[in-house]
Amino acid sequence: MVFKRFVEVGRVALINDGLNRGKLCVILDVVDQRRALVDGPGLKRQAISFSKLSLTDFTVKISRSAREKQVKAAFENADIATKWEQTSWAKRIARKDKRTKLTDFDRFKLRVLRQQKSRIVRGQYYKIKKEAAAAK
């Protein structure tokens, strides 16, 4: 498999550390070997270390060091937010966040539902096993 996620102007990245964790941004310029200038919706323009970025498969057409309005327009025209929400990566993050926000009572309800499901599956398993033994 060929590597396709290169650091380039217009590459959409996910911030995976710091105050802006979980936000999408667009790489506007490469500052040096360790940092990039990024901007995005709900995010101030700033230099972020590559170690705090995860590159996505998405890119937007923008020029180097584009203005905030241009970045926002390109982000919306490419419909990046909707495309991102449809990826398995975003769904996995959302599922993880939802699970961490469960209350004690929600976890209890979840445990009870799992027990009920297991009871039903176990009952069907033994029923099929009994029929198979009788057929021999």
Domain that holds residue 37: 1-101
Per-residue pLDDT, averaged over 85-93, amounts to 96
Residues in the chain: 136
Which token pair is 110?
């979840």
- Is residue 1's pLDDT more than 90? no
pTM for this one?
0.78
Digit-coded pLDDT (tens) for 104-136: 999 999 999 999 999 999 999 999 999 999 987
Q: Are residues 61 and 93 in the same domain?
A: yes
Listed residue (36, 33, 85) closest to 58, CA to CA: 85
CA distance 58 to 27: 11
Q: How far is CA 23 from CA 33, 38, 93, 132, in A?
A: 22, 11, 11, 54
Same domain, yes or no, for 88 and 121? no
